[in-house]
Amino acid sequence: MSRIKTQATVATICFALLCFLPLFVTDSYIRHLMILAFIFAVVACSWDISLGYAGLFNFGHVAFFGIGVYTTGVLARNYGFDPWLALPAAGVMAGISAIPIAIPVLRLKGIYVVLVTFAFSQLCLQLVLSQSWLTGGSGGLVRIPPLTLFDYNFARDGKFAYYYVALVLLVFTVIALTRFVKTPFGRGILALRDNPDYAAARGINQAAIRVTVLVVSAIPAGLAGGLYCLYFRISAPEVFSFGTATLVLSMLLVGGTSTIYGPVAAAFCIVLFSEYLENFPDLNVYKHLVIAAVIIAILRLAPDGLAGLAKRLTMRLIKDN
């Protein structure tokens, strides 16, 4: 109970600090970095539901992010939808797209799940490139309408409004996913991951679990993709790239799987550390090597990620007191 109270206190303090940050930090570039961290944190912690809690080696999760990007872009730019309506549509479309990928995954395990889900991501990329009349092809879609509220344009206020939209999305996602994994259904997910035979004997439906997990994890990723599209005002095929998947996967592993909070913390660390390296022009060529070396070092010293490290430190503090 003490550990839970400690986690709740830390989360509340962090949320309060993030709420007041834009009031004291007027640099639009700092706000830009925080928005990026919020968006990728949503994608990383939603991926944790399928990869961490359910044990599904779903390497197509970034496709849901890309589907959200293009759903919002196509609706807002090509069909004139209000961006506020195109944004939730991105989450709905990502959730729907998770169903066909769940069907072949129902009876697969291990490397076969990896192959099928990765193939799904590449299929989405090829569809985007081939349907240029709708998606803009390799050039993508540009000049997508930004979010507005009456006469207030979110793209002209120094990233102040987008900051709070991204923060609300992150907080809502973390709370929703945390409550989801604590439900009886969430405990069934863990049982199926840790002991499939025992879970089946207790009447847990593996097919229903896998489909639900993929749909639930896809919706926040789609919403994050929609916000990413409206923030940058572009939809580019690079969102389906292996580089994007590697970035988000790094956040998940460094933060710690089956934690929700861990990938969120890692998203902030990786985004800010990556930007800090920009201060050293001589390291630009080796930037990705440096980041990879740091990630490997963290995983070597703390195999269960930042969340596991924080848990051990918290337990030690509680024990000492």
Whether the Cβ atoms of residue 209 and residue 4 lie closer than 8 Å to each other: no
Supply the pLDDT for residue 101: 87
Main-chain dihedrals φ then ψ at residue 82, nearest 5 degrees? -60, 130
Total residue length of the chain: 321
Beta bridge partners of 149: 152
Q: Is 9 helix (H, G, I), strand (E, B) or coil?
A: helix
Residue spans per domain, the chain: 2-15+31-320
In this model, does residue 320 exceed pLDDT 80? no
* Stated pTM of the model: 0.93
Find tokens 């405990």 and name the residue: 187
Nearest CA to 177 out of 54, 303, 266 is that of 54
Half-sphere exposure of 290 toward its Cβ, with a 13 Å CA cutoff? Answer: 14
Question: Inter-axis angle of helices 305-320 and 287-301, to 10 degrees?
Answer: 40
Q: Looking at the domain that runs over 2-15+31-320, which CATH code has it been given?
A: 1.10.3470
Q: Cα angle vertex 19, ends 156, 73, to 5°? A: 45
**Which range (73-82, 116-125, 157-166, 281-290) has the least confidence?**
281-290
Across 35-116, the runs of DSSP E, i.e. the strands, are: none
Amino acid at 154: F
One-letter amino acid at 240 equals F
- Give the residue from 98, 149, 158, 128 showing the smallest Cα distance to 235: 128
Q: What is the pLDDT of residues 160-209, one digit of tens each?
A: 999 999 999 999 999 999 999 999 888 899 988 888 888 888 888 888 89
Residue-wise pLDDT tens digits, 287-297: 777 777 877 88
- In this structure, are residues 239 and 69 in contact, taking their beta carbons and an 8 Å threshold? yes
Residue recorded with tokens 């004291």: 24
